[in-house]
Amino acid sequence: MIRIENLRHVYGDRTALNGVSFEVNRAEIFGLLGPNGSGKTTIFRILTTLMLPTDGRALILGHDVALDPGGVRRQIGVVFQSRSIDVKLTAEENLIHVGHLYGITGAILKKRVAEMLERVALTDRAHDRAESFSGGMQRRLELAKGLLHHPQVLLLDEPSTGLDPGARRDLWQYLQLLRDQEGITVMVTTHLMEEAEKCDRLAILSHGNLVGLGTPAQLKSEIGGDVILLDAHDPPRLAAAIRARFGVDAVVLDDGRVRIEREAGHRFITDVVEAFPGEIDAVRVSKPTLEDVFIRRTGHRFWNEDAQGLEERVAETAKKKKR
């Protein structure tokens, strides 16, 4: 359904994508997981035909996003992170407007609008202005817009932004229904680990590179055992001492904690605490997470990058220069 082949993109002197390749299958929920600046937003913009790649290819249902953008747009539905509905229009009016953009009119449009409103449980609010909707309802209206022309591929950028936990749960249940009942391929970008866990497969990105690809279970299985985190007075000294004493790989994270991967971690930590009395302030032992996969593949924590989103700022600067 979606094929990314050696995709590269450069903003000025910064490489946003560095030869990324992967495929997305029919009727699966595929996640692009990465912190701000990882490259996931650049991939989203390329797939939605908002920008051309510097090199490589991206194809959706056989249509090249650079050579046949019109063919791609007819096959995809898009839900952006920022709001795209007109809150001064009713739910029905928003969908009618989108239908006209796709050349859908008359009885066919009327039928599809009614169908979409029912699908996202907004039939009883069809004639209410969108400004009166909750965040979750507005997000459902965004989904209805993206699905109005019956696309085979749905692309969503940070779909849970601004939603409360209940609305987020409802959104993901709906995406799973689209996959299971209608065979729609769904791709989402996210920086939330709990969302990534809901995906069938993931591509994990860091600084424009693909650092992980597979199901959440497959990715976490590479860790094995438990993950141990230690708070210490002198983390570098403690890590070196643990390596020398026990022959395990103890590393110091960006936040100053010492991290160890070990089978039967709850038993091993007893030996560590007894070996270094008074040097350890706190201990945490847990099963591997997707963040642990990210740490193993990159050597740093998931949240070490600029929280304001370097990638987005660089892209915006590039746009201004073109103007």
Whether residues 20 and 121 share a domain: the answer is yes
Residue 321: its pLDDT value, please?
Answer: 47
Q: At what angle do helices 106-119 and 135-147 cross, to 10 degrees?
A: 140
Q: How many domains does the chain have?
A: 2
Residue 312 lies in a domain: no
34-68 pLDDT, tens digit per residue, is 998 899 999 999 999 999 999 999 999 999 999 99
Strand order in the sheet with 250-252: 250-252, 258-262, 226-232, 280-286
User: Phi and psi (nearest 5°) for 64?
Assistant: -75, 125
Adjacent-strand bridge partners of 238? none
Q: What is the mean pLDDT of residues 248-262?
A: 92
CATH no. for residue 240? 3.30.70
Q: What is the mean pLDDT of residues 130-134?
A: 95
Residue 314 lies in a domain: no
pLDDT more than 90, % of the chain: 76
Residue 307 lies in a domain: no
Structure tokens at 297: 């593949």
Residue 67 lies in a domain: yes
Residue 310: its pLDDT value, please?
Answer: 41
Whether residues 124 and 170 share a domain: the answer is yes
99-114 pLDDT, tens digit per residue, is 999 999 999 999 999 9
Q: What is the mean pLDDT of residues 207-218?
A: 95
Strand order in the sheet with 55-60: 14-24, 2-11, 55-60, 63-64
Per-residue buried b or exposed e for 139-167, using 16+ beta carbons within 10 Å of the residue's own CB: bbbbbbbbbbbebbbbbbbbbbeebeeeb
Whether residues 136 and 268 share a domain: the answer is no
Residue 37: its pLDDT value, please?
Answer: 87
Say if residues 148 and 113 touch (Cβ distance below 8 Å).
Answer: yes
Q: Closest Cα partner for 145 from 173, 177, 104? A: 104
- Domain final residue pick, 198, 219, 240: 219
Whether residues 67 and 119 share a domain: the answer is yes
- Residue at token pair 């952006």: 80
Q: What is the mean pLDDT of residues 117-142?
A: 93
CATH no. for residue 52? 3.40.50.300
**Residue 198 reports pLDDT greater than 80:** yes
Residue 313 lies in a domain: no
Q: Mention every residue, 6+ apart, whose C-beta is less than 8 A from residue 99.
A: 105, 109, 112, 113, 148, 149
Give 161 or 233, the one with higher predicted confidence.
233
Give the mean pLDDT of the chain.
90
Q: What is the mean pLDDT of residues 169-187?
A: 92
Residue 316: its pLDDT value, please?
Answer: 52
Residue 313: its pLDDT value, please?
Answer: 45
Whether residues 30 and 50 share a domain: the answer is yes
C-alpha 61/C-alpha 40 separation (Å) is 20
Residue 166: band (very low, low, confident or very high) from pLDDT cuts 50, 70, 90: confident
**Residue 86 reports pLDDT greater than 70:** yes
48-62, 77-91, 247-261, 292-306: least confidently modelled range: 292-306
> How many CB atoms within 10 Å of residue 17?
28
Q: What is the mean pLDDT of residues 227-241?
A: 95
Residue 308: its pLDDT value, please?
Answer: 38
Whether residues 155 and 72 share a domain: the answer is yes
Domain extent for 176 = 2-219
SS3 content of the chain, % helix, strand, coil (to 5): 40, 25, 35
Q: Closest Cα partner for 55 from 98, 7, 11, 122? A: 7
Q: What is the mean pLDDT of residues 215-232?
A: 93
Give 248 or 166, the one with higher predicted confidence.
248
Whether residues 94 and 228 share a domain: the answer is no
Q: Closest Cα partner for 38 from 18, 5, 16, 23? A: 16
Whether residues 236 and 199 share a domain: the answer is no
User: Phi and psi (nearest 5°) for 24?
Assistant: -120, 130
